Amino acid sequence: MTIFYEKAMEDDILGPFFIDEIGDDIKSEDWVEHIELLADFWLAKILGEDTYYGNFVGAHVKMPHIKKESFARWLELFSQTADEVYIGSVAEQFKKKGVQFSKQFLNRTKNI
């Protein structure tokens, strides 16, 4: 998770969204909380654990300026990170879910 967010924060397209909402210090309390929340999210989605019941699409509604291209970039960085961190079959599982979730977002975002 941390590797992904380090890339995202340095990215021209994604960086500003995260910096505006969570700040520019990845070691801050807000960031640690965000990364833990996302780790719980992925545990729930990949392993079916009881760790996340939030509304993750809803959490992005307050950022209507996230556009189709931003999701394409998100997916690119996410897939790159999955390949770096995990062996083949596990990386594939993350990438498949990443594609699924990005599509869900795109379907629900009106202004694209």
Nearest distance in Å: CB 48, ligand HEM = 16
Residue nearest to ligand HEM (CB): 54
- Total residues binding ligand HEM (CB under 6 A): 21
Is 93 a binding residue for ligand HEM by CB under 6 A? The answer is no
Torsion of Cα atoms, 10 then 84 then 88 then 71, to 10°: 0
Is 106 a binding residue for ligand HEM by CB under 6 A? The answer is no
Which of 18, 31, 95, 109 binds ligand HEM (CB under 6 A)? It is 18
Nearest distance in Å: CB 90, ligand HEM = 16
**C-beta pairs of 13-22 under 8 Å, 24+ apart in sequence:** 13/69, 13/70, 13/73, 14/70, 14/73, 14/74, 14/77, 17/63, 17/65, 17/66, 17/70, 21/63
Sorted by sequence, the CB contacts under 8 Å of residue 55 that are 6+ apart come out as none
Return the residues of window 26-85 that contact ligand HEM according to CB under 6 A.
34, 37-38, 41, 54, 56, 59-60, 66, 70-71, 74
Residues that bind ligand HEM (CB under 6 A): 14, 17-18, 21-22, 34, 37-38, 41, 54, 56, 59-60, 66, 70-71, 74, 98, 101-102, 105
